[in-house]
A and B are shown apart, each in its own frame.
Chain A
Amino acid sequence: GNSVTQMEGPVTLSEEAFLTINCTYTATGYPSLFWYVQYPGEGLQLLLKATKADDKGSNKGFEATYRKETTSFHLEKGSVQVSDSAVYFCALSEDAGNMLTFGGGTRLMVKP
């Protein structure tokens, strides 16, 4: 079956530091990959996506590249802000209409 593994948190960084949150996946086919973000007390929002190998998803300064050879989709940001403090979820979906498989989530805390 499909699975998504994320690095455990919390990840604590100072403002303007470089961020990497690791995500690797297991899938039987060729999934689409997603990063969702959950701000405190809220539901999840789609942050970025990539639908095929070597695609780079980007949004709000965050980037992730679909690496088929390493089955990875690591999230990066060059300079984090306090407002980026949230829980980040990596997820995959194989087919149209198929359910999402989520990773365990990684909490990011950014200190001023």
Chain B
Amino acid sequence: SQQGEEDPQALSIQEGENATMNCSYKTSINNLQWYRQNSGRGLVHLILIRSNEREKHSGRLRVTLDTSKKSSSLLITASRAADTASYFCATGVNSGYSTLTFGKGTMLLVSP
């Protein structure tokens, strides 16, 4: 069964604007990860946040995690046309290693 559910399913913005995508999950997790996929190609790992962390930054990316609400958000600031892609959250339930369960993804379109 699908663990993560992203919303919105699709998001269309202009370059320079911020993009926020949300992910909700059902069971307790050890970590949550965000991936980007360009045009049906391979996935690129963006950021991992552990269950004992609340916020993490990487360049123009900011991820938050609220374990009480079982939700996470990915914020891309000052978006660029090159950010156009599908974004997926994935949850891991064990420390160290566990299989990942992917959400349905948000398709982001950034127009010049």
Determine if chain A interacts with chain B: no
* Residues of chain B having any CB pair with chain A under 8 Å: none
